[in-house]
């Protein structure tokens, strides 16, 4: 074999091994896509002029859905790290904890701004905009860590959705988050699914 053929064979074998034993995030991304579609969609539909259901009911369903997705993500992370040793395990653990640390800090900052008298109409834009920026940045970091162009691209898309949602203003920001944000996760899930076959 020529050196080029050897490198091509190594790359092919590496990709096949990764597909067979590595985690496939298609289901995880689909879960988040559906939660964004449902949760943010219900909040949008509870706002005037549609007001199809009370805001408290939409918020309760959205919070429950997001809590379920967070629990599923934690379980997924723990399961996929079983049997992994060395630097990869440390990087995965640090990345997982980065989400909790970053959103803990974001919660403190945003809550402080609300307590300082932020205009009530701006509160939903603050939370959704900053949460999406942080989520997008963490996806960018994950894309860099694992050299995943798709994960990096999803991070870019989420940041664009966050900016667009703030520009759309309330309550249309929730429509942007539902359709564009949730749709982005579902498209990424489909791409991962097709690539894994």
- Domain spans of the chain, in order of start: 26-196
Residue 59, pLDDT > 60, answer yes
Most confident of 49-58, 74-83, 84-93: 49-58
Provide mean pLDDT across the span 111-128: 92
Query: What is the pLDDT at residue 2?
Result: 87
pLDDT confidence of 160, banded at 50, 70, 90?
Answer: very high
Closest listed residue to residue 187, CA positions, set 145, 156, 165: 156
Tell me if residue 48 falls in helix, strand or coil: coil
Of 1-10, 111-120, 122-131, the poorest mean pLDDT is in 1-10
Provide mean pLDDT across the span 36-56: 91
Query: What is the pLDDT at residue 81?
Result: 64
How far, in Å, CA of 20 to CA of 192, rounded?
A: 14
Residue 179, pLDDT > 90, answer yes
pLDDT confidence of 144, banded at 50, 70, 90?
Answer: very high
Provide mean pLDDT across the span 95-110: 93
HSE-CB at 117 with a 13 A cutoff on CA atoms is 0
Residue 80, pLDDT > 80, answer no
pLDDT confidence of 18, banded at 50, 70, 90?
Answer: low
pLDDT confidence of 19, banded at 50, 70, 90?
Answer: low
How far, in Å, CA of 54 to CA of 102, rounded?
A: 31
């Amino acid at each position: 074999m020529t050196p080029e053929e050897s490198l091509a064979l190594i790359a092919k074998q590496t990709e096949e091994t990764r597909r067979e034993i590595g985690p496939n995030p298609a289901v995880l991304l689909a879960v988040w896509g559906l939660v964004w579609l449902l949760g943010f969609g219900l909040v949008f539909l509870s706002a005037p002029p549609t007001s199809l259901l009370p805001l408290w009911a939409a918020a309760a369903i959205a919070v429950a859905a997001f809590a379920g997705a967070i629990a599923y993500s934690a379980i997924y992370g723990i399961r996929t790290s079983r049997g992994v040793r060395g630097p990869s395990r440390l990087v995965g653990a640090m990345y997982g904890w980065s989400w909790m640390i970053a959103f803990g800090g974001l919660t403190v900052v945003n809550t402080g701004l609300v307590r300082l008298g932020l205009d009530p109409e701006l509160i939903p834009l603050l939370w959704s905009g900053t949460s999406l920026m942080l989520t997008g940045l963490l996806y960018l970091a994950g894309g860099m860590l694992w050299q995943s162009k798709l994960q990096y691209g999803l991070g870019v898309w989420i940041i664009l959705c966050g900016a667009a949602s703030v520009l759309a203003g309330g309550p249309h920001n929730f429509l942007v988050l539902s359709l564009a944000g949730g749709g982005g996760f579902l498209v990424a899930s489909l791409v991962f699914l097709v690539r894994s076959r």
